[in-house]
């Protein structure tokens, strides 16, 4: 091993703030954290917000809050100074531009002036004009000086990586050993977009190098990008870090599909609101990467760190089994708290004064005796509720249409930030109008889905108190109770929903796009 490898361990987690704080981020953060702590190294949090359309500060704050709640403290990050600040990519644009210039100057990258229309036309006309990798390489051999002139004259273009067209790229992954990939299958990746923003690939490599990251521990969906990343390291004259791609979390379904919020709540906030303990969630995520058949499965974070071995991570797709998580959570509740401790825990969870004072005015008009309190507010503290199917109705609609409406509401609330009553009211009134319902009719199945009963605390306030993720989970559960919507139906519905405008969303927001 070269000297470089003996440098102090530095790892990072690099979430894109484009949605809820995802379990996958917690999983990766945990493994990076454990590796850093095990080796006395540093753990960096970097925000990859180069997708301008989809990134938001609110989402970033939610991610930071979720990781803090889990207790995965980072040594450097956007909220604290460090030797490699700033840690938010949108504040490092100049750095990426300089590196793109370097790559252009050496011929490792080239400018591509293709217009959107040209690309669309080529796509339509079939693959003729396109390379196997799905885009034309027509500007690859343009004279660099002419290209520079056109760029200086303000002609819109992107910067692409010049990827070899033949030969094989050999990569090394800590868990998988050597992996080979033919260069002819790798596209000339866009590095700088026409708006001057870098893509994930350029920014990620540049930052990992400048931030002196020694081990890149991330999800296996990035293996296919590794040839491009390695090429960037080579062309920039840098030694690459070691790469370790963690197996993706899977749904507990027949084909072990990638963990998705269609099947499981994937937002850390959901687990927090539903009353899971951070220790239990971390413990559970840790177990998913280890093949630990022996010994107690209840492990503290310290114990997990102590025994952590990157190379022992099991490659079998870890299945997210919520029943097991509940079982583990129950053990923590039973074994780690006495009565006073449990009361303190409940208070810090959601039985705090602020929450109770928020709820009191909603319950007050409906209280006949104080004894009504428990039943009246139970749904505000529960995980899922059990709405009777015969109450999940909407005038003039078959059950399947009701399910469709609930699904669309789930999509609409899913992207709503901040998640507060008057905003919820606003977007739902709009959706009701778009679908041709009066708000009063429209909210009926929502009451039932959210509170489990036809009459309850006011809907929009209730949703706010529950939070976006618990609200969404209940809506999804109600869709399932109504018989569910298969993948095909969901696709069609998503099209219809998107045509309404007024809110992005749909299942498309499930994955993380280009990083
Ligand atoms: N921003 C990327 C993501 O959220 C980071 C991937 C990586 O760790 O390289 O998946």
Determine the Cα–Cα distance for residues 95 and 81; give it in Å rounded to an integer: 18
Contact indicator for 413, 419 with CB cutoff of 8 Å: yes
Q: Which residue's alpha carbon is at the smallest distance from atom 10 of ligand 1?
A: 515
Determine the Cα–Cα distance for residues 456 and 157; give it in Å rounded to an integer: 56
The CATH number of residue 190's host domain is 3.90.800.10
Clarify whether residues 110 and 184 are in a common domain. Answer: yes
Asked whether residue 512 is domain-assigned, the answer is: no
207 lines ligand 1 (CB under 6 A): no
Clarify whether residues 96 and 236 are in a common domain. Answer: yes
| DSSP tag of 197 | P
Clarify whether residues 326 and 423 are in a common domain. Answer: no
pLDDT of residue 514: 42
Q: Which helix (H) or strand (E) holds 359?
A: helix 353-363
The CATH number of residue 403's host domain is 1.10.10.350
Clarify whether residues 22 and 109 are in a common domain. Answer: no
Instruction: Please report the atom of ligand 1 found closest to the CA of residue 217.
Output: 8
Question: Two tokens at 505?
Answer: 């969303």
Asked whether residue 505 is domain-assigned, the answer is: no
Residues shown for the chain: 515
Q: Which residue's alpha carbon is at the smallest distance from atom 3 of ligand 1?
A: 515
Ligand 1 centroid vs 87 CA: distance in angstroms? 14
Question: Two tokens at 171?
Answer: 């990569």
pLDDT of residue 123: 73
Full DSSP string of 59-96: HHHHHHHHHHHHT---SBBTTB--TT---BGGG-HHHH
Residues 6+ apart with CB under 8 A from 458: 362
Determine the Cα–Cα distance for residues 166 and 182; give it in Å rounded to an integer: 7
464 lines ligand 1 (CB under 6 A): no
pLDDT of residue 260: 83
Determine the Cα–Cα distance for residues 461 and 380; give it in Å rounded to an integer: 10
Enumerate the H helices of 162-276 as residue ranges.
200-210, 226-235, 268-273
Asked whether residue 504 is domain-assigned, the answer is: no
Asked whether residue 125 is domain-assigned, the answer is: yes
Clarify whether residues 131 and 219 are in a common domain. Answer: yes
Enumerate the H helices of 190-338 as residue ranges.
200-210, 226-235, 268-273, 278-289, 301-306, 322-335
Active site residues per annotation: 261
Clarify whether residues 413 and 328 are in a common domain. Answer: no
- Among residues 215, 240, 265, the one where a domain terminates is 240
15 lines ligand 1 (CB under 6 A): yes
443-476 b/e (C-beta count within 10 Å ≥ 16 → b): bbbbbbbbbbbeebbbbbbbbbbbbbbbbbbbbb
Question: Two tokens at 33?
Answer: 């954290």
Q: Which helix (H) or strand (E) holds 414?
A: helix 399-414
Asked whether residue 23 is domain-assigned, the answer is: yes
Beta bridge partners, 426, equal none
- Among residues 240, 266, 281, the one where a domain terminates is 240
Cα Rg of the chain (Å, integer): 25
- Determine the residue of 11, 45, 46, 222 to mutate for testing ligand 1's pocket, defined as the one with the most ligand atoms within 8 A of the Cβ atom: 222
Q: Which residue's alpha carbon is at the smallest distance from atom 8 of ligand 1?
A: 218
pLDDT of residue 507: 54
Instruction: Render each residue's pLDDT in the chain as its tens digit; 515 residues.
Output: 444 557 899 999 999 999 999 999 999 999 999 999 999 999 999 999 999 999 999 999 999 999 999 999 999 999 988 999 999 999 999 999 999 999 999 999 999 999 888 877 777 776 555 565 667 788 999 999 999 999 999 999 999 999 999 999 999 999 999 999 999 999 999 999 999 999 999 999 999 999 999 999 999 999 999 999 999 999 999 999 999 999 999 998 888 888 887 778 899 999 999 999 999 999 999 998 776 656 789 999 999 999 999 999 988 888 899 999 999 999 999 999 999 999 999 999 999 999 999 999 999 999 999 999 999 999 999 999 999 999 999 999 999 999 999 999 999 999 898 899 999 999 999 999 999 999 999 999 999 999 999 888 999 999 999 999 999 999 999 999 999 999 899 999 999 999 998 555 555 444 333 44
Asked whether residue 508 is domain-assigned, the answer is: no
Ligand 1 centroid vs 30 CA: distance in angstroms? 14
Instruction: Tell me the torsion sign for CA atoms 136, 140, 143, 145.
Output: positive
Contact indicator for 1, 259 with CB cutoff of 8 Å: no
Cα→Cα distances 463→268, 293, 363, 425, 436, Å: 17, 41, 14, 10, 23
Q: State which residues form the domain around 141.
A: 92-240
Clarify whether residues 227 and 262 are in a common domain. Answer: no
Contact indicator for 266, 274 with CB cutoff of 8 Å: no
Clarify whether residues 319 and 341 are in a common domain. Answer: no
78 lines ligand 1 (CB under 6 A): no
- Among residues 214, 240, 266, the one where a domain terminates is 240
Q: How many structural domains compose the chain?
A: 4
Clarify whether residues 126 and 215 are in a common domain. Answer: yes
Clarify whether residues 411 and 477 are in a common domain. Answer: yes
Asked whether residue 507 is domain-assigned, the answer is: no
Clarify whether residues 16 and 33 are in a common domain. Answer: yes
Asked whether residue 513 is domain-assigned, the answer is: no
- Determine the residue of 12, 32, 48 to mutate for testing ligand 1's pocket, defined as the one with the most ligand atoms within 8 A of the Cβ atom: 48
Ligand 1 centroid vs 275 CA: distance in angstroms? 28
pLDDT of residue 403: 98
The CATH number of residue 320's host domain is 3.40.50.620
Clarify whether residues 349 and 287 are in a common domain. Answer: no
């Amino acid at each position: 091993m070269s000297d470089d490898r003996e440098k102090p361990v530095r790892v990072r987690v690099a979430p894109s703030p484009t949605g809820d704080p995802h379990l996958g981020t917690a999983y990766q953060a945990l493994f990076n954290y454990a590796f850093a702590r095990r080796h006395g190294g540093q753990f960096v949090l970097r925000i990859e917000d180069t997708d301008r359309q989809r990134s938001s500060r609110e989402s970033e704050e939610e991610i930071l809050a979720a990781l803090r709640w889990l207790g995965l403290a980072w040594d450097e990050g956007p909220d604290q100074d460090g030797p490699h600040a700033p840690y938010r990519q949108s504040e490092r644009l100049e750095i990426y531009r300089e590196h793109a210039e370097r790559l252009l100057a050496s011929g490792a990258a080239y400018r591509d002036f293709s217009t959107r229309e040209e690309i669309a036309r080529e796509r339509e006309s079939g693959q003729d004009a396109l390379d196997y990798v799905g885009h034309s390489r027509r500007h690859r051999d343009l004279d660099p000086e002419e290209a520079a002139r056109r760029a200086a004259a303000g002609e819109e273009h992107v910067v692409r990586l010049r990827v070899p067209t033949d030969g094989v790229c050999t990569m090394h992954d800590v868990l998988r050993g050597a992996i080979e990939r033919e260069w002819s299958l790798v596209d000339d990746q866009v590095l700088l977009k026409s708006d001057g923003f870098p893509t994930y690939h350029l920014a990620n490599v540049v930052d990992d190098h400048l931030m002196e990251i020694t081990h890149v521990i991330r999800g296996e969906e990035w293996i296919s990008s590794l040839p491009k990343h390695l090429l960037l390291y080579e062309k920039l004259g840098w030694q690459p870090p070691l790469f370790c791609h963690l197996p993706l979390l899977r749904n507990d379904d027949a084909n072990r599909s990638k963990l998705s919020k269609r099947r499981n709540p994937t937002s850390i906030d959901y687990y927090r609101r539903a009353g899971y303990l951070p220790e239990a969630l971390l413990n559970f995520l840790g177990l998913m990467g280890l093949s630990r058949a022996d010994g107690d499965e209840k492990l503290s974070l310290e114990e997990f760190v102590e025994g952590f071995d990157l190379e022992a991570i099991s490659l079998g797709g870890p299945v997210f089994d919520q029943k097991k998580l509940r079982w583990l959570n129950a053990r923590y509740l039973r074994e780690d708290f006495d009565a006073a401790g449990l009361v303190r825990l409940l208070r810090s969870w959601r039985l705090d004064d602020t929450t109770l004072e928020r709820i009191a005015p909603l319950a007050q008009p409906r209280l006949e005796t104080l004894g009504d309190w428990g039943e009246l507010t139970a749904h505000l503290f529960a995980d899922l509720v059990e709405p009777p199917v015969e109450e999940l109705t909407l005038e003039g609609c078959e059950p399947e249409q009701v399910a469709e409406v609930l699904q669309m509401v789930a999509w609409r609330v899913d992207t709503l930030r901040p998640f507060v009553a008057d905003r919820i009211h606003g977007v739902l009134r709009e959706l009701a109008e778009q679908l041709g319902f009066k708000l009063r009719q429209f909210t009926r199945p929502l009451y039932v889905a959210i509170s489990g009963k036809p009459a309850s605390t006011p809907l929009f306030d209730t949703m706010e108190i529950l939070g976006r993720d618990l609200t969404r989970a209940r809506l999804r559960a109600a869709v399932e109770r109504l018989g569910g919507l298969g993948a095909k139906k969901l696709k069609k519905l998503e099209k219809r929903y998107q045509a309404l405008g007024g809110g992005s969303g749909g299942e498309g927001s499930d994955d993380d796009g280009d990083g």
